[in-house]
A and B are shown apart, each in its own frame.
Chain A
Amino acid sequence: MSKVATLTAWVVISLCLVTLITLPVNMQTQLVASVLVVTFMALIKLLDAGGKWRLVALAFGSAMVLRYVYWRTTSTLPPVNQPENFIPGFLLYLAEMYSVVMLGLSLFVVAMPLPPRPSRSATPGKYPKVDVFVPSYNEDADLLANTLAAAKGMDYPAEKLTVWLLDDGATLQKRNSTNLVDAQRAAARHRELQKLCEDLGVRYLTRDRNEHAKAGNLNNGMLNSNGELIAVFDADHAPARDFLFETVGYFEDDPRLFLVQTPHFFLNPDPLERNLRTFEKMPSENEMFYGIIQRGLDKWNAAFFCGSAAVLRRKALEDTSGFSGLSITEDCETALALHGRGWNSVYVDRPLIAGLQPATFASFIGQRSRWAQGMMQILMFRFPLLKGGLSIPQRLCYMSSTLFWLFPFSRTIFLFAPLFYLFFDLQIFTASGGEFLAYTLVYMLVNLTMQNYLYGAFRWPWISELYEYAQTVHLLPAVVSVLLNPRKPTFKVTAKDESVLESRLSEISRPFFVIFAVLLIATALAIYRVYTEPYKADITLVVGGWNLLNLIMAGCALGVVSERGEKAASRRVKVSRRCEFSFGEQTYPATIENVSAHGARVQVYGLPTDELLIDVKGKIRFQPYSGDGTFETLPVKIRNVETEGDLTIVGCRYLPEVARHHSLVADLIFANSQQWSEFQRMRRGNPGLVRGTLWFLWLALYQMSRGLIYFFRSIKTEGGASR
């Protein structure tokens, strides 16, 4: 009852505010109100007031955004009888309104994210039986070995844990392919993986036909297993040892719980982070999703399945006949179906798996295309707003998650809108310079402040815009195609084991340079027009400023598509673990500094350097977390040596010979989830709006020049090659 009363009071207050906001007051009033509101917002932010004051600041922001919406709707649309202005003008209006709706939905989702849950360990003695599914399509054995070994090495009673490799790369259909090479490859893979599984003590499962892609593969796994819970890990997502202990306990508390999702933590940077060199200091792109949004969704019981790093209840899945495979994002679709049937989900905000993400820009785009298309399919096939069984907050949450992927449209419109004026002199936004200042500029400022307020520590200013722009260029055709042909997209596995060995332009970089050139010309034209047409300089300045913003974004994106070469094939993880390094007959005290999927860097004390030779075999002896306390040995090969006083730093490559060696490698890399949290915490810092913006400007300038250098270099080589 008090809930209803509070809600009613809230609605009444909101209506009052909306009435006040929709008063057609004059521009002076708007200006004074904006100055006051922005001052208050800045004050709250400077005082770093949280809790209630955070919501007050958001209410301030929302009020100004609504003022903008009201003004934009009532005073700025070009007249309908000027179709050349009205049509682009109205598209721009729709794009802006889309952004506002998305802002509204995100405000709802993250208004009060659940604080990270305290650790809920499984009750000893009441461990449910768990099947671990590792679906694979084309990942190679080394990668799978690490993942499977890590899965097998999780702390959990062995009799309650079954790890399954669900191999879709060696199905009967593939082995009997009419293409001889493919058939031979599939057969070889079949043999190799069967052997690996046998060594690791893991069940190998494949099927006859590759039906329904990943969802079909998982369903096949379900048919062949009987555990109460099912944990799913992508082939490149290796779990930490405490993964199951930290997750299965929740199923005890709530019999209607179908999902415990944990964040995806990546050991390697995505192409943007790699090319912009921000991986070490700036929070990753997905941290906004896993750090805030999933927590926000969790408040509304709408945290959804992200395909991996999650535990699901078999009984729930059986309720919907397994994983749904109508869309190519089976994970979210499955969660939607189960939420719709009254099952609950929980999100645990602690990285418990570590994985890889696409290394090249092209495969990054490929992955995002799949997400975008899949979410569009869900939007079209399962329209969450009207789906029965969902609570109203859940509907809004799913709408927020799916509608998000329409951003390529709005980004494209924002990108090209200024050009209508600069190139064709079309008036698609009717406002004076003063009104722009009082409404649009305030709106943008308030919007940025709110973003910073909501996601400050997880997303630095302008980074969302950069990511969206970088994806838009290639995502727009993908989203358009799925809208035209909803059933056409098929599941494609994202390649994550690629590496860029030498610096080059991405193979899909050309459109970025074309757009950059167009925007550059538009900027030049804007400057020219300010001088030649002084009577409308104010409008030209405003539009030119907007175009300049686009140009900065496009310039920064040139750096994004200029792939930096990397020496190391895979990312290194700091570990600091005591060990012994043996070389020949001698054993030396040592510390493992960092590790990667392929090798480790070891600090050795008192090693006679003169005897060391490249490619000579050695051994690392350490105490695995997963074992019974005894030291175990991992064979390695020395790749390089550096000396620093008494310390010698040895870079070595693993030479796993038996399955146990894979487990040891997994133990080195994945065993300790605490270190991942620490790494994330280290990157999380809010630079603030001003500092963040300045930093971004500098970054954009630098990346633009780097992109251009790569571009001219590539022309030279091409020219050279053609000669």
Chain B
Amino acid sequence: MKRALALLMAFLAGSPAAAQPSPFDMSGERPAELRAAPPLEAAPQRRDAQPSSDSPEADALRPAAEPFRRFILPFPTLSLAGEADERAWSIYLTPAQAQAGRKLTFAYQNAIVVAPEASVLSVLVNGKLVGEGAVQAADEPHERSYDIPPGLLRTGENEIRFRAGHRHRTDCTIQSTYELWTEIASESAFITFEGEEPRALSAIEDIQAVGTNETGRTQFNIVAPALEQPSRVPMLMRLAQGVALLGRMPSQSFVFSRAMPDLGKPGELTILAGTATELQPLLPSLPAEAATGTIAAFAETGTAHAPVLVLSGPNWTAVAAAIETITAATERPSNIPRDVIQTERWRLPQTPLVFSGKSLRFSDLGVATREFSGRRFRTALQVAIPSDFYADAYGEAAILLDAGYTEAVRPGSRIDIYVNGNIATTVALEASAGGILRHLPINVTLRHFRPGANLIELEAVLLTEADKMCSPGMAASSEPRFALFDTSEFAMPDFARIARRPDLAATSGSAYPYRGSADPVALFIDRTDADTLSAAGTFIAKLAVAGGRPMQIESIADPLVADGRQALFIGAMPQLPTMVLTQAGIDTVSQASWGSAKDVAQGRNTQTALDEWQTRLKGGGWRSAIVDFESWLKENFDISLNSLRLIPEAETPFVPPEAATLLVAQSANPAENATWTVVAAPSPALLREGVAAIADTSRWSDVSGHIAVYDPVDDKVSATPARRFSLVETQPPSFWNYRLIAANWLSTNILFYAVLLVSLAVVLGLATAVLLGKLGRRT
């Protein structure tokens, strides 16, 4: 147990040897080679750093032999809201962990209006109920701990499912259902393992078991003593991608450093990448093989069994080969489309990727047949679409709904469909005697769809006479009123497929165009410091996860070299070449000024000021009449005067808002044959933090349009749409695709359609006149 280092070696194949558990190391900056005494505070999460003292773990602190725990929530907080809600995801367990998992523990708190006698919170592991109980923690978080039946956990993917059924204490209105919630904090939810073996990682695929920390995040620490050498950047980026693709966690970030970080923190994995000579000072017990051949394996530091991944060799080429053993395992051809987008770590099931006309049954989308006795039924499913999706303006998908409702359901009840949180359609349930809907088509506008995974929520709002009266106990009635059947289908029609440039949504959704780039992606980093490299690693790794495959990266020192190639420019704003910023549509004045916190009024955006003046002057004259007309059009017909333009508005250089700390901008290169993406922040530190923040799946999907900025105060990504863009062909030419592309383009440039229609009709009329002059009798 006290062995300083147990090195598990693998030559190219990365095959596992044996794991040696060792005590935890929480000893701060101490180098890894120093042996650590068992720490006093050994909980994997720093409870004492948290303000909440009512957490059950607070008492659970024991000086020694703290059993190994793994946090299980892939988000900071799990919130189950409404009358019926559930969430499922999977966690990866190593063989030792699968053997030794004993208890699932979590603490929950719920809204005060939840009626405990009628509300249940259940936990299922691999489809088996491991425990459930009334929802009764209105005042403070209650801890629940359930034994995991032996043999239930498996090596590899394990499904965790939380399910809540809530009923209101007093109210029966639809509105009241929004007051029902149960929350579980990430720091309180974990699986406890027996013994020390589960701490260790042994095989390369065990990287998947990296897990999350107490806030639901994952961090990879890459220790590369020679990271300042630009020549090493491409391989390090490959490494980041490979590891990220194995991890696949919703919020992964990379931290590059020269020195060894703290080891043994949950949700973190430290990777040493360097030649044997470079790593020797960091890891004195580096096996001798590193001096002669490629080595890619887990090693254990002396303390706490904290695993580190060592990628080493006698020279950089050997290290590169070691990196490739990891990354090559995640490689997949760029020309074969994926069937699914891997979202299982935060939402099960895997999200199917739909390319054209296809129907998917709800049962395959993870929606089961359910009967419902409450008033607001809600369920969700995910569907992914490719990056060259171009049907947001005209397209409609359909949900073919199989459902039933009893005669208790009054007219006025309805089914709402939400896409990525936006209402897409409403269907009234009208039959007063109940009804069974068999494949009732509900058209869902594709307007809110974006490349990558899309969340579609189906909500049934059910009104009944009984709820109107709301006699005591009525709210808890379990008489079903509504049933959704898993034979329902989501039907996606053939949609237009062509890529846009710029389109950050395609980049964030599926790494377009970097994913499929034949040439290596050009990466421009002006200064290879740790922060910039960390940001680049996090960003490129996120792209790789979005694209489902690692990309080849090539460092460039001059933007001109990038010409003709897909390129990424990552750096602090002052470090980036002005020419790149100009090309990306960023105001170059802000290059120096951004982040220096000048007087806010000075940096005021002309457009916002103009808009404000316009509203101020409202109330007279023809100008206000136009504004009135515009708002009327917008309100009633969803037509903006902007879409009635024949020539698109000119784009003004973008001035990043002062509050923002990160900017992602995309544009074509000067030759207009490749895409340039700029990731910039006022300083390298802000860059690293900002990229780590947007790399969280919940924010990453908001990266869209021409320019996206991240504001840490609001913790929000806001996007500026692209006014001008070019279309980039992604499919072999076909009439039907062109037709749909035209439909979408004309649906966004609607005056063009009208003008085209009128002109063609005029031509046809004149042609008919000529034709009729020649046919039939004339006088």
- Residue A19 CB within 8 A of the other chain: yes
CB closest residue in chain A, given B394: A26
Cβ contacts under 8 Å, A7 to chain B: 771, 775
- CB interface residues, B 624-645, toward A, < 8 Å: 637-639, 643-644
- Residue A467 CB within 8 A of the other chain: no
Q: How far is the CA of A57 from the CA of B746 in the complex (A)?
A: 23
Count of chain B residues near A, Cβ 8 A:
53
Cβ contacts under 8 Å, A610 to chain B: none
- Residue B723 CB within 8 A of the other chain: no
A-B contact pairs, 26 of them (CB 8 A): A6-B770, A6-B771, A7-B775, A10-B771, A17-B764, A22-B739, A23-B394, A23-B742, A23-B753, A25-B750, A29-B754, A33-B757, A33-B758, A35-B754, A36-B754, A37-B754, A37-B757, A40-B758, A56-B766, A58-B765, A79-B441, A82-B440, A115-B779, A299-B776, A425-B430, A533-B411
Q: B768's contact among A37, A111, A299, A434, by CB below 8 Å, is which?
A: A111
B767 engages A10 (CB within 8 Å): yes
Q: How far is the CA of A26 from the CA of B745 in the complex (A)?
A: 10
Point out residues on B near A: beta carbons under 8 Å: 393-395, 411-412, 414, 428, 430-432, 438-441, 443, 637-639, 643-644, 739-740, 742-743, 746-747, 750-751, 753-758, 760-777, 779
A26 engages B767 (CB within 8 Å): no
- Residue A258 CB within 8 A of the other chain: no
A55 engages B739 (CB within 8 Å): no
A59 engages B754 (CB within 8 Å): no
B761 engages A63 (CB within 8 Å): yes
CB closest residue in chain A, given B742: A23
B758 engages A13 (CB within 8 Å): no
B430 engages A536 (CB within 8 Å): yes
Are A114 and B753 CB-contacts (below 8 A) given A17-B764, A26-B747, A32-B644?
Answer: no
Are A536 and B764 CB-contacts (below 8 A) given A33-B754, A81-B439?
Answer: no
Q: B777's contact among A31, A35, A301, by CB below 8 Å, is which?
A: A301
Cβ contacts under 8 Å, A32 to chain B: 639, 644, 750-751, 753-754
Q: B761's contact among A17, A393, A535, by CB below 8 Å, is which?
A: A17
B753 engages A33 (CB within 8 Å): yes
Cβ contacts under 8 Å, A299 to chain B: 776-777
Q: A60's contact among B739, B761, B771, B773, by CB below 8 Å, is which?
A: B761
B772 engages A29 (CB within 8 Å): no
- Residue A126 CB within 8 A of the other chain: no
A56 engages B440 (CB within 8 Å): no
- Residue A52 CB within 8 A of the other chain: yes
- Residue A157 CB within 8 A of the other chain: no
A82 engages B774 (CB within 8 Å): no
Interface size class on chain A is 35 or more
B747 engages A25 (CB within 8 Å): yes
- Residue A485 CB within 8 A of the other chain: no
Are A23 and B746 CB-contacts (below 8 A) given A28-B637, A59-B762, A60-B761?
Answer: yes
Q: CB-defined interface of A1-25 with B at 8 Å, one 1/0 digit per residue? A: 0110011011001101101111111
B765 engages A57 (CB within 8 Å): yes
Are A28 and B643 CB-contacts (below 8 A) given A81-B438, A301-B777?
Answer: yes
Q: How far is the CA of A60 from the CA of B760 in the complex (A)?
A: 9
- Residue of A2, A37, A51, A535 ringed by the most chain B CB atoms within 10 A: A535
Q: A535's contact among B412, B767, B769, B775, by CB below 8 Å, is which?
A: B412
Cβ contacts under 8 Å, A81 to chain B: 438-439
- Residue of A9, A26, A427 ringed by the most chain B CB atoms within 10 A: A26
CB closest residue in chain A, given B738: A19
Cβ contacts under 8 Å, A13 to chain B: 760, 763-764, 767
A-B contacts besides A33-B757, A63-B760, 6 pairs, CB < 8 Å = A6-B771, A6-B774, A25-B753, A32-B750, A59-B762, A115-B779
Cβ contacts under 8 Å, B637 to chain A: 27-28, 31, 434
- Residue A667 CB within 8 A of the other chain: no
- Residue of B739, B770, B775 ringed by the most chain A CB atoms within 10 A: B775
- Residue A300 CB within 8 A of the other chain: yes
- Residue A112 CB within 8 A of the other chain: yes
B739 engages A56 (CB within 8 Å): no
| Shortest beta-carbon distance from A116 to chain B in Å | 10
| Shortest beta-carbon distance from A267 to chain B in Å | 31
A2 engages B774 (CB within 8 Å): yes
Cβ contacts under 8 Å, B766 to chain A: 52, 55-56
Cβ contacts under 8 Å, A28 to chain B: 637-639, 643, 747, 750
| Shortest beta-carbon distance from B149 to chain A in Å | 44
A20 engages B394 (CB within 8 Å): no
- Residue A298 CB within 8 A of the other chain: yes
Cβ contacts under 8 Å, A25 to chain B: 394, 743, 746-747, 750, 753
Q: How far is the CA of A321 from the CA of B756 in the complex (A)?
A: 55
Q: A23's contact among B644, B739, B765, B767, by CB below 8 Å, is which?
A: B739
Are A298 and B777 CB-contacts (below 8 A) given A9-B767, A59-B765?
Answer: yes
CB closest residue in chain B, given A44: B765
Nearest first, the 10 closest Cβ-Cβ pairs linking A and B are A56-B765, A59-B765, A33-B754, A23-B743, A29-B750, A36-B754, A59-B761, A112-B772, A26-B747, A55-B765
- CB interface residues, A 179-216, toward B, < 8 Å: none
| Shortest beta-carbon distance from A64 to chain B in Å | 9
A10 engages B761 (CB within 8 Å): no
CB closest residue in chain A, given B756: A20
A37 engages B440 (CB within 8 Å): no
CB closest residue in chain B, given A3: B774
B768 engages A55 (CB within 8 Å): yes
Q: How far is the CA of A302 from the CA of B165 in the complex (A)?
A: 76
Q: How far is the CA of A115 from the CA of B777 in the complex (A)?
A: 10
Q: A114's contact among B644, B758, B763, B777, by CB below 8 Å, is which?
A: B777
A29 engages B758 (CB within 8 Å): no
| Shortest beta-carbon distance from A47 to chain B in Å | 14
Q: B760's contact among A10, A20, A35, A300, by CB below 8 Å, is which?
A: A20
| Shortest beta-carbon distance from A55 to chain B in Å | 4
A535 engages B411 (CB within 8 Å): yes
Q: A52's contact among B428, B638, B765, by CB below 8 Å, is which?
A: B765
Cβ contacts under 8 Å, B761 to chain A: 17, 37, 56, 59-60, 62-63
CB closest residue in chain A, given B763: A13
| Shortest beta-carbon distance from A542 to chain B in Å | 15
Cβ contacts under 8 Å, A63 to chain B: 757, 760-761, 764
Cβ contacts under 8 Å, B757 to chain A: 17, 20-21, 33, 36-37, 63
| Shortest beta-carbon distance from A504 to chain B in Å | 46
| Shortest beta-carbon distance from A722 to chain B in Å | 44
| Shortest beta-carbon distance from B777 to chain A in Å | 5
Cβ contacts under 8 Å, A59 to chain B: 761-762, 764-765, 768
Q: How far is the CA of A505 from the CA of B756 in the complex (A)?
A: 55
- Residue of B432, B638, B758 ringed by the most chain A CB atoms within 10 A: B758
Q: How far is the CA of A59 from the CA of B769 in the complex (A)?
A: 11
A31 engages B771 (CB within 8 Å): no
| Shortest beta-carbon distance from B773 to chain A in Å | 8
- Residue of A10, A28, A536 ringed by the most chain B CB atoms within 10 A: A28
Are A55 and B754 CB-contacts (below 8 A) given A2-B774, A79-B440?
Answer: no
Q: How far is the CA of A111 from the CA of B755 in the complex (A)?
A: 24
| Shortest beta-carbon distance from A653 to chain B in Å | 47
Q: How far is the CA of A535 from the CA of B439 in the complex (A)?
A: 23
Q: How far is the CA of A81 from the CA of B760 in the complex (A)?
A: 39
A52 engages B769 (CB within 8 Å): yes
Q: How far is the CA of A434 from the CA of B638 in the complex (A)?
A: 11
Cβ contacts under 8 Å, A56 to chain B: 761-762, 765-766
A24 engages B750 (CB within 8 Å): no
Are A26 and B393 CB-contacts (below 8 A) given A10-B768, A33-B753?
Answer: yes
Cβ contacts under 8 Å, B739 to chain A: 19, 22-23
B760 engages A16 (CB within 8 Å): yes
| Shortest beta-carbon distance from B195 to chain A in Å | 58
| Shortest beta-carbon distance from B391 to chain A in Å | 9
Q: How far is the CA of A535 from the CA of B412 in the complex (A)?
A: 6
Cβ contacts under 8 Å, B395 to chain A: 24
- Residue of A23, A58, A301 ringed by the most chain B CB atoms within 10 A: A23
